[in-house]
Structures are given as C-alpha cells and as structure tokens.
A and B are shown apart, each in its own frame.
Chain A
Amino acid sequence: MWDTFIINPMTNGLLVLYDLLANNFVIAIAVFTLLIRLLTLPLNLRQQRSAMRMQEMQPEIQRIQKKYRDNPQKMQEEFQKLGYNPAESLLGCLPLLIQFPILIGLYRAILLVMGSTPQALLELTQRVYPGIDLTSLLPVDNRFLWLNLAQPDTFFVLPVLVFATTFFSQKLMTAKRNQPDKTPEQKQKERQENPMAGMTESMTYTMPLMFGVMSLQFPAGLSIYFVLSNLVGVGQSLLLRRSMPQPGATPTRRAIAEEEAVETEAEPVSEPPAKATGSSAKRNLPAGSKSKRKTQYKRRKR
C-alpha cells in the first residue's frame, strides 16, 4: 500500500518532471515541491487560519481557564460558547504530520530515481509506470553546483538553510500579529498559565533544530525540497496574514453577545454616530462599541 500510493507515484512524478524539465533534477524537485504544496494547500490554509484564530482567542481562553479551574464542566461549556475546541489545537499538527509520509516517500523516491546503487536502480525499473522510457532518462544527472544530490551536503550549507527556513516558517506561523515582543518574564508567565502556548513556542525552536540536524544525513535533493517547501510556506503565511482581518476586527461569539448585552444597558451615546466602517458596519454597531469591547476585556482582567 505504502509503495503503491506514496513511493511509486512520487518516483514516477519525479521522472516525468525530470523528462519535461530538460533533465534537470533540481528543477524537477522544485516543481515537485510546488505541486505538493498546491495539493496540501487547503489543509495548510485551514491550519494556519485556525492557528491565527486560536491566537486571537488566547486572552479569552486563559481567562476561562483561570476562572473555572476547579469546574471543568463549566470550563467546557464556556469554551463551547466561545467557539473554542481544544482538539482543534491538536489538529493544528495535521499538516506537519502529513509532511512526514511525504518526506519519507520523497526520501525513497529521490534515492530510487538517483539510482545510486545497482539495487536501487533495479528496484526503480520495477516501479516505473508503462509509458515512461527509463532508458532514455538514464543516467539521472546527480550533480548540482558542489552537490551530489543523492548524498548529504558535505559543506553544511543545506542543513543551515533547512534550519533557517524551518525556523522562519515556524516563527511566522506562531507569531502574533501586531503585538509587541514580550519580555522574558511575560513569556514565562504566559507559559505557566497556558502550557499549550509554551509547547508551541518550544516547537518553534525544536522543529527547525530537528530538521536541520536530520539534514546532515539527508540526501541533498531532499534538503533542497525542504528549503523550497519552507520558502513557499513562508510566502503562503505572509499572504494569509495580509488577507486575514486584523485582530479585534472579528470578535468572538461571546464578545459579540456581551457587547449586545452592554449596549442594551448602556447610556445613550453622546457623540453623533460616525460613518460606520469595517466589521462594525456589518453588524450595525455604533461607533465606539469597539472601545466598549476593550472596556469589557479590562473589566474581566480585574
């Protein structure tokens, strides 16, 4: 099953791209990376959106966790009202988990296509789909700049690039938008109050380190896939952050409900209603309700 659904399609895909792209294996890997990214795009977008939403909910989640520490049932109810599902943070790892079979498959596919041992080449012949003329594609050019694509980079350039791009990609995914950097004390406090956030932060450092170290033993072709994939991921994150509404523009269900409750009790607005814009306009909220929402948050903090 593993061979049929993962390794063989990847191997043949690489061979077809190698054939179409002037027998340049690095370009074949680059295009292959884009295709893989395109295939996993819906999943990645969903995960990134979910991660951003979680970040915006964090103050509210922490407040509920603190308030209902001794009443898990009530805590769950409040989470439900907020629209927060703790299992969702686990599902956030899904794109990363999906990457692993792709990586393992690609690792095998690159070694097979490179045909760097007689056994690998013989195995390749048994995996090639009819219609691909392997004879004319061989030998696959395994050289690129100083690299032998079937062997690790002996000059450590690719492992460093893998580390740097993975770190940048992770950092971008977990960084909160439009928020100033926190002091170490604040970070420590946040980690104590919210272990999940602490774990996410430690992942930002451990994942790049892990992949960087693993790249020391990866074939250079696989490390190239990693670097390109991370760069595409970074671009994707940047685009997504631009397209997502700014924090506060999409309040949680609870915040909206509370706003409405406040509005019914509130004194008449003294200033004349300003021209409504953005998300406030969509919900027909009077100008100034954003500041009221901030007051609500402050009150809760106390």
Chain B
Amino acid sequence: MPRLRRIISLFALVSFLLVACGTGVQNANWPGVTADGNVVYVAYGVGVIAVDVASQELLWSFPDEPRAGLLFYAPPSVGDEQVVLGDFGVSGGFFSPGTTVTVYALEAGATNSGPDVLWSRDDVATDRIVASPLQADERVYVGTSDNHVVALDASSGELIWDYETDHSIWAQPLSSDGVLYAASLDNFVYALDAATGDLIWQKELNGSIAGNMVLDDGVLYVPSFDRAVHALDPETGDELWQAAATNWVWGAPALNDDFIYYADLDGNVFAASREDGEIAWQKEVPGVIQSAPLYADGRVFVTAGDVGGDADAPTGRIVAFDAETGDELWQQSIPAALLTNPVMVDSGVVVAINEGATVRLLVFDPESGAQVWSFTPPAEG
C-alpha cells in the first residue's frame, strides 16, 4: 500500500509538471496596427503585412521568410517614402544569449513583392522595440525598451542623438515645433530639443506612461497608470488639469472639439471636457480596455477583451458609443481578446486579433457594426 501511494504521488507530480510545461504563451504581444488611407499595416509576430482594405488584397509582407525567434509587434510608422518599424529582437542562438534588436526602414508603396529594406540599424537598441517609431522633420525617433530615445537620420539611419531615461519607452514619441516629447515607464514625461536631444523640461507623474500622448491646440494629453489623463502645458510641463479614471489609463486619449475620450483597465469609457477635465459621461464595457479609443464622425469606438479568464473561450468586444451622449450604438463580440487599437480606413473600422502564429483582420461598418470583411494572410510556403 505505501508503495502504491508513492507511485500515485509520483504519477500525480509528473502529470502536474507536464501540465505546467504546457502552459506557454504563444504570442509575446498583441498585433500593432497602423492605417494610412485604405492601407492597413499590421505587425503580428512573425511578420508585418500591408493590406489594401478597399481592394481586399495583401500588398506585401515582411520579411520574405519568417526567421526563428524574430517577432514584430510595434505598430509600423508610415511616411511618404518609407515604412519604419522595429522588432522585439532575436537571440543569437542557444549559446549566444545576446539579443539583436533592429530598426528597419522599408520602401513605402511596394506591391506584390516584399518591400526593399532601405536601411536597417541593429546597434541602436538592446531590448525590444514596443513603440511605433515617429517620422518627422527628416528624422526617425525611436523609443526602446532599454530606456532610450534615439534620433536617426531618416534617409541613412545614421544616429544623430541618444537620450536615456530611467526605464522602458513603450509610447510613441511626439514632435512639435522643434520639441520632441517622450514618455517613459519611469513615470516621467520628457521634452527634448528635437535637434540635439537636450532636455528642456521633465514632468513626473504618479504612474508609468505606456500609451501614446496626444498634442492638440496647445495642450499635451498624457494617459497614465496613476488612474488619470493629465493635461500638460507643452512649453513648461506644468499640469493644467487631470481627468480621473478608476484604474490605469493605458491607451492614448481620442479627441474631438469638445471632449477627450479615454478608457481604463476596469472597462470604463469616459468623455471629459477639454476645458477642465470634468467628466461628461462614463460607460462600462465588460472586460479590460487597454487600447486607445477611436473617434470618428460623432462616434467613439473602443475595443475590450477578457484577460486572464477562461483561456479556452476568450472574448473580445468592439463597442460604438455616441460621442455626445455616451449612448451605446452597437456592440460586436469576437472569440478572441481584443487588445489592439481600432483604426479607421475609408471602408470601416479595422481591428486585428492573433490567431496562433498568424493574424486576422476584421473590418466593421461604423454605422451598423456589421462585419464587412475579414482577412487572414495566406500561410507561408
């Protein structure tokens, strides 16, 4: 009997271990999506694709062949000449634990075949690139997870300057009137001289900043994990007001003339006055809202997902609200946690979901919420 008990215990332990070993995360992040006209660019793990939603065709994919361990999740930055993106880094091999992280400038407007790599830099970052790079004034600004903001020459990729913060940068930098604004997980917003990288001012908040900032009409809006959106003076960094939330505000706020729209991890959607941050309306959506709301034509679109729940049946939602009143206009459920920012193209609202090693794009009619198209890139080779 004791022996039997021991054998059973050992068997239970081995089973437990096998279950434990099986709980791996397939994707290291959710897809990063950018829209330009009717073309949607998606970084979805093993590659980046450009899809023309109007003609419903895949324009190109990069790289030509997926490379083991090489992953892309930062939303590509789309300019007139080039598409700039960074990767999550690739290990040099089992016996070479160093990671090589690369910034690529791809030829814009490529069709059918893969885009040419105009230049690439694998020496400006040592840790993942999560944020979308910024192209402005013939420069490319990249925030890295190894705490740096780097300025590169847009045509050659040459390093112009480098500024180090105290923690990772996951938010896309922002440029205006010769000033580059960068937000870090170290709780600070930095205003740097875009030409030299010198610090002009820095402002500490009470929480990390992971989402993009928005600059409009002389106000810098900063979403923060300190459960608020902060309105800062872009010239001095002084706080003008803050709009409260009940949990972390991760995604960038969306704006119209009167309100800022933002959401928190508790699934709350807020509309606050741009004058003083006073909340005009608040609605709740089931699930977590990590993404940035999207404002278009009097509607606010938010995406939400069940995170950490029943992994076999994750659910995501896209919900449209009336921007003025907060009334829910429509809601669509998706059998996957929806964590990407929704983007608007001429033919509808686009979201992306991971499906194993590939991605699926879903396009919804903004008025009715009807799904008008879905797209999955053809499997390689």
Contacts and interface: CB of A to CB of B under 8 A. Distances in A.
A100 B17 contact: yes
Interface string B283-296: 00000101000000
A1 B210 CA distance: 31
Contact of B225 (A91, A97, A135): A135
Given A101-B16, A122-B339, A135-B225, A117 B128 contact: yes
A260 interface: no
A97 B13 contact: yes
A122 B290 contact: yes
B207 A135 contact: yes
Contacts of B339: 119, 122
A121 B97 contact: no
Given A118-B170, A125-B265, A152 B97 contact: yes
Interface residues of A, number: 37
Contacts of A87: 3, 6
B20 A2 contact: yes
A135 B206 contact: yes
B335 interface: no
A238 interface: no
Given A2-B23, A126-B308, A135-B226, A119 B29 contact: yes
Nearest to A141: B167
Interface string A113-152: 0001111011101110000000100110000000010011
A121 B127 contact: no
B30 interface: yes
Nearest to B131: A118
Contacts, number: 101
B307 interface: yes
Contact of B20 (A105, A117, A154): A105
A119 B27 contact: yes
Contacts of A2: 16, 19-20, 23
A239 interface: no
A72 to B, nearest CB: 16
B95 A216 contact: yes
Interface string B120-146: 000000011010000000000000011
29 contacts: A2-B19, A2-B23, A6-B20, A91-B6, A94-B10, A94-B13, A97-B10, A104-B17, A108-B23, A116-B128, A116-B145, A117-B88, A118-B30, A119-B25, A119-B27, A121-B210, A122-B250, A122-B265, A122-B290, A125-B288, A126-B288, A127-B308, A135-B248, A139-B187, A151-B97, A151-B99, A154-B98, A156-B97, A216-B94
Interface of B: 3, 6, 10, 13-14, 16-17, 19-21, 23, 25, 27-30, 73, 88, 91, 94-95, 97-99, 127-128, 130, 145-146, 167-168, 170, 185-187, 206-208, 210, 225-227, 248, 250, 265, 288, 290, 307-308, 339
Given A3-B23, A117-B73, A123-B308, 6 more contacts: A91-B6, A119-B27, A122-B307, A135-B225, A148-B146, A213-B94
